[in-house]
């Protein structure tokens, strides 16, 4: 049976091909022969190599940096945006119902029936911002803020834009033509002094660069903000045909002075005379005044000399009448020139004290000049007439010295009264007072005993429990407690009045020297004081004075070629820095002047700080920071200041006499001077023979003619009386074959001069050395 062998083939075909739907049976064909079978082919796929990992540590890639910390979020101000208008509803366009505009307006009121009139009203409200009042208020608020910011920017900006707008307005008024400046048309210009180059340019129309260029050509370095001298400004403006008138700005102090000058007198009556005692130091001024006052001030003065101006109101009895005389006792030392000058200005009569045993001295002549400058009469008190040296010959010699300076005695036919006095023996004192009274009657002295007071500051000082005080001399009016007072840079309300004997007063009239308390700071001696209406007026006058003083202290000097050379020279100048503390303001001024007098071209004494009061810790700290010396006059240092000065190593020098300060200042300045180099000649030697030694050079065989030759001294080589070489060192000195330190006259020696071999027979070698000699001022 044959169908069975075909079954495996059918199965193989079935496995090789996908099954297909059964087909209809077909007639069976005879079996065909089987094709030959191909051998199975296997393909070798190459294996992918594994990734090779490098040996060693792996490098990690850096991560991007991340910001740490709180996040800053910028919040902008909300922007006001107008709400857009509603769009009309979609649909065919047609007439609006009622003429009220878009129907269904969500932000406006409902449409009112009634036609166009009502609709027009609703549209007008919408145009005016009805229903959006909040947005309109916001816009108004932001608009006002914008205007305020713009105004602030304009105010901070320079005046260029404002000036340009001002020029445009002027141009419009003038028909389009710019106005001519004084620089273009010439003419007269007024300007208040002081002013800067910028102010001068704005007032005259001259370019500031032209003014600066002109000053530069004259050797003055300046900027647009630099001040310019009024005379120099007038000189420059002449080239532009401009007549510059400089008007001095009136200060508040000057206004007060004019007010007192124009014031009408209230109660004019005769007053007491003011007498100033002038003369040379130690001629007996204070002793004579003590005899008049029945006091003993001279014994209590340090060094026996007066070192401050004192005022006394002394009752005197002339015949049957009792009167008062105001005496001003001034110092006679040469350092107190300013005090004597101030005393001569406020006085009516000057009593010139001349010692009969000493005669006319430098300060006597200076006092005569001060009195003549003040235009006051002079009465000469020839003091110490009781001494043996006061012979008639000496007295006549002194009278001749007075006549040489314009003081002709009455005994010689002149007009100068000379009274012979003795403070020790009480001789001539009454005669002196009678002469003063006679001179006062001839002057017919009067004063106003009513109205506000004015006068002069004699001295000022800081007192414990009272603060800043001033010794004043009332010259007009009545000074009362509670008055508002201005004195130079000081002002305040009078809290206390004390006379020269220590009695408290409620008021002080003319010619009364009193001490006033209540000022905010110390005035300068010689300042005028005035009583004004209000404390505000006094403060304004004092502040203006302080401002002028600050401007004067801080003002930079004009930079000229001469000043630049001076600065270069000052850089080489040695400086002694001092801090001055004194008991009264007058002493401070005197010590400052004394320090300036010590200054020379090589050493400058610089006062870093000068004030009234004791030595405080702040003074020690300033001295330590600036390497200065503290000088105290009639003051003491506090315990803390002394302890701090010892820790910091600061010198605090306290004095009682003016002589010691001036002497020590000179010694300290002399210590800063470069010593003077002088040559001291030791001896001379004559060159008899010159030897050439290998590796040594020329060796001179010499004979010492005079003096001594020392090793390591300096040698000067002279040939035919001409100096060939100077300042050479004698490095080797031998006597025969032995080294010698020195060779005396009449001996021979061998000499080797360091670095010099051009020696010839017959040369003269001079041996010397340089010696430093201390210099003095």
Give Cα separations from 354 to 345, 381, 658 (angstroms).
21, 6, 22
The CATH number of the structural domain formed by 454-531+541-554 is: 2.40.30.10
pLDDT recorded at residue 45: 61
Phi, psi of 510 (to 5 degrees): -60, 150
Architecture of domain 572-671: 3-Layer(aba) Sandwich (3.40)
pLDDT recorded at residue 529: 92
- Whether 188 and 245 have beta carbons less than 8 Å apart is answered as yes
- What percent of the chain is predicted at pLDDT more than 90? 14
pLDDT recorded at residue 282: 75
Output the six-digit token pair for 419: 């009274």
Cα–Cα distance between 340 and 327 in angstroms, integer? Answer: 13
DSSP 608-647: EEEEES-B-HHHHHHHHHHT-EEEEES--B-HHHHHHHHH
Sheet holding 603-612, edge to edge: 603-612, 574-582, 629-633, 652-655
Mean local confidence (pLDDT), 260-283: 85
Q: What is the largest CA-CA distance in the chain?
A: 201
**What tens digit of pLDDT does each residue of 575-621 get?**
888 999 988 887 888 888 888 888 777 788 888 888 888 898 888 98
pLDDT recorded at residue 492: 93
Which neighbouring-strand residues pair with 770? 679
Q: Which three-class secondary structure state does DSSP give residue 480?
A: strand
Give Cα separations from 554 to 79, 265, 547, 548 (angstroms).
52, 41, 10, 10
The 8-class DSSP code of residue 283 comes to S
Mean local confidence (pLDDT), 49-75: 63
Secondary structure element (H or E) that encloses residue 768, with its range: strand 764-773
pTM of this prediction? 0.55
Return the closest-CA partner of residue 429 out of 541, 351, 342: 351
Return the closest-CA partner of residue 478 out of 499, 449, 519, 505: 449
- What percent of the chain is predicted at pLDDT more than 70? 70
The region of weakest confidence among 327-336, 383-392, 498-507, 696-705 is 327-336
Which pairing describes strands 274-279 and 321-329: parallel, antiparallel, or unpaired? Answer: parallel
Mean local confidence (pLDDT), 233-259: 82
Mean local confidence (pLDDT), 229-256: 83
CATH fold of the domain at 675-774:
Elongation Factor Tu (Ef-tu); domain 3 (2.40.30)
pLDDT recorded at residue 98: 44
Question: How many residues does the structure list for the chain?
Answer: 777
pLDDT recorded at residue 309: 46
Give Cα separations from 552 to 194, 216, 522, 659, 714 (angstroms).
12, 23, 19, 31, 55
pLDDT recorded at residue 296: 40
Peptide bond into 194 cis (omega under 30): yes
Domain spans of the chain? 187-248, 272-444, 454-531+541-554, 572-671, 675-774
Fold match between domain 272-444 and domain 572-671: yes
User: Which residue reads 């009278």 in tokens?
Assistant: 399
pLDDT recorded at residue 707: 92
Return the closest-CA partner of residue 183 out of 127, 138, 243: 243
Mean local confidence (pLDDT), 460-473: 86
Torsion of CA 736, 739, 740, 741, to 10 degrees: 160
Architecture of domain 272-444: 3-Layer(aba) Sandwich (3.40)
Name the average pLDDT for the chain.
77
The 8-class DSSP code of residue 428 comes to S
Mean local confidence (pLDDT), 413-425: 88
Q: Is the pLDDT confidence value at 153 over 90?
A: no
Mean local confidence (pLDDT), 214-229: 85
Cα–Cα distance between 681 and 714 in angstroms, integer? Answer: 10
Helices (DSSP H) in 157-251: which residue ranges? 160-173, 182-185, 197-204, 208-217, 230-238
Which pairing describes strands 603-612 and 574-582: parallel, antiparallel, or unpaired? Answer: parallel
**What tens digit of pLDDT does each residue of 202-211 get?**
888 888 899 9
pLDDT recorded at residue 70: 62
Output the six-digit token pair for 502: 């220590």
pLDDT recorded at residue 406: 87
Helices (DSSP H) in 449-534: which residue ranges? none
Cα–Cα distance between 179 and 584 in angstroms, integer? Answer: 60
The region of weakest confidence among 6-15, 590-599, 684-693 is 6-15
Give Cα separations from 94 to 89, 101, 102, 113, 741 (angstroms).
11, 11, 11, 17, 138
Q: Is the pLDDT confidence value at 458 over 90?
A: no
pLDDT recorded at residue 115: 42
Q: Is the pLDDT confidence value at 349 over 60?
A: yes
Output the six-digit token pair for 340: 């004597």
Return the closest-CA partner of residue 425 out of 385, 455, 390, 457: 385
């Amino acid at each position: 049976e044959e169908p069975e062998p075909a079954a495996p083939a059918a199965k193989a075909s079935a496995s090789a091909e996908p099954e297909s739907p059964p087909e209809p049976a077909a007639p069976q064909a005879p079996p065909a022969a089987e094709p030959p079978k191909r051998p199975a082919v296997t393909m070798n796929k190459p294996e992918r190599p594994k990734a090779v990992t490098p040996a060693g540590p792996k490098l990690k890639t850096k991560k991007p940096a991340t910001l740490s910390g709180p996040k800053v979020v910028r919040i902008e101000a909300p922007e006001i945006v107008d709400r857009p208008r509603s769009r009309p509803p979609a649909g065919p366009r047609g007439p609006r119902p009622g003429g009220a505009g878009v129907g269904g307006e969500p932000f406006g009121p409902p449409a009112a029936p009634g036609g166009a009139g009502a609709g027009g009203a609703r549209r007008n409200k919408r145009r005016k911002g009805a229903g959006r009042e909040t947005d309109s208020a916001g816009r108004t608020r932001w608009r006002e803020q914008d205007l305020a910011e713009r105004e602030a920017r304009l105010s901070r900006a320079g005046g260029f834009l404002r000036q340009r707008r001002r020029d445009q307005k002027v141009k419009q008024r003038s028909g389009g033509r710019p106005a001519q400046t004084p620089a273009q048309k010439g003419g007269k210009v007024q300007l208040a002094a002081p002013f800067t180059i910028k102010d001068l340019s704005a007032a005259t129309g001259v370019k500031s660069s032209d003014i600066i260029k002109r000053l530069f050509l004259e050797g003055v370095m300046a900027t647009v903000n630099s001040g310019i001298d009024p005379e120099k400004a007038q000189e420059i403006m002449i080239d532009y045909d401009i007549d510059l008138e400089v008007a001095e700005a009136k200060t508040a102090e000057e206004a007060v002075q004019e007010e007192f000058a124009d014031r009408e007198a209230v109660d004019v009556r005769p007053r007491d005379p003011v007498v100033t005692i002038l003369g040379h130091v130690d001629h007996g001024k204070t002793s004579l005044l003590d005899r008049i006052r029945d006091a003993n001030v001279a014994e209590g003065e340090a060094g026996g000399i007066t070192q401050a101006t004192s005022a006394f109101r002394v009752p005197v009895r002339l015949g049957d009448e009792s009167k008062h005389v105001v005496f001003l006792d001034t110092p006679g030392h040469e350092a107190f020139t300013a005090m004597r000058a101030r005393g001569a200005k406020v006085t009516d009569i000057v009593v010139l004290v001349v010692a009969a045993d000493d005669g006319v001295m430098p300060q006597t002549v200076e006092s005569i000049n001060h009195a003549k400058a003040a235009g006051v009469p002079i009465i000469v008190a020839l003091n110490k007439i009781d001494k043996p040296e006061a012979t008639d010959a000496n007295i006549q010699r002194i009278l001749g010295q007075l006549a040489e300076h314009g003081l002709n005695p009455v005994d010689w036919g002149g007009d100068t009264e000379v009274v012979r006095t003795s403070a020790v023996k009480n001789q001539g004192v009454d005669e002196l007072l009678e002469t003063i009274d006679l001179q006062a009657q001839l002057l017919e002295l009067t004063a106003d005993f009513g109205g506000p007071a004015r006068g002069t500051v004699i001295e000022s000082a800081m007192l414990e429990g009272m603060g800043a005080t001033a010794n004043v001399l009332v010259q007009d009016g009545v000074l009362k407690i509670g008055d508002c007072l201005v004195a130079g840079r000081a002002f305040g309300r009078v809290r206390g009045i004390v006379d020269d004997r220590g009695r408290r007063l409620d008021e002080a009239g003319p010619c009364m020297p009193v001490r006033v308390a209540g000022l905010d700071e110390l005035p300068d001696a010689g300042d005028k004081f005035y009583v004004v209406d209000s404390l505000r007026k006094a403060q304004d006058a004092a502040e203006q004075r302080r401002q002028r003083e600050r401007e004067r202290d801080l003002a930079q000097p004009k930079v000229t070629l001469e000043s630049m050379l001076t600065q270069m020279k000052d850089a080489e100048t040695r400086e002694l820095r001092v801090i001055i503390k004194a008991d009264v303001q007058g002493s401070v001024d005197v010590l400052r002047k004394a320090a300036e007098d010590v200054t020379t071209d090589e050493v400058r004494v610089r006062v870093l700080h000068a004030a009234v009061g004791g030595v405080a810790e702040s003074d020690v700290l300033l001295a330590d920071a600036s390497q200065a010396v503290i000088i105290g006059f009639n003051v003491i240092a506090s315990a803390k200041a002394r302890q701090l000065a010892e820790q910091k190593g600061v010198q605090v020098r306290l004095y009682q006499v003016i002589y010691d300060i001036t002497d020590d200042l000179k010694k300290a300045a002399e210590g800063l001077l470069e010593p003077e180099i002088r040559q001291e000649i030791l001896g001379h030697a004559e060159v008899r023979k010159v030897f050439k030694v290998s590796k040594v050079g020329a060796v001179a065989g010499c004979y010492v003619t005079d003096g001594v030759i020392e090793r390591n001294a300096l040698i000067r080589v002279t040939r035919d009386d001409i100096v060939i070489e100077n300042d050479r060192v004698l490095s080797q000195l031998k006597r025969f074959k032995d080294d010698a330190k020195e060779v005396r006259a009449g001996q021979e020696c061998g000499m080797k001069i360091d670095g010099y071999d051009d020696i010839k027979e017959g040369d003269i070698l001079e041996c010397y050395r340089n010696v430093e000699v201390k210099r003095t001022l």
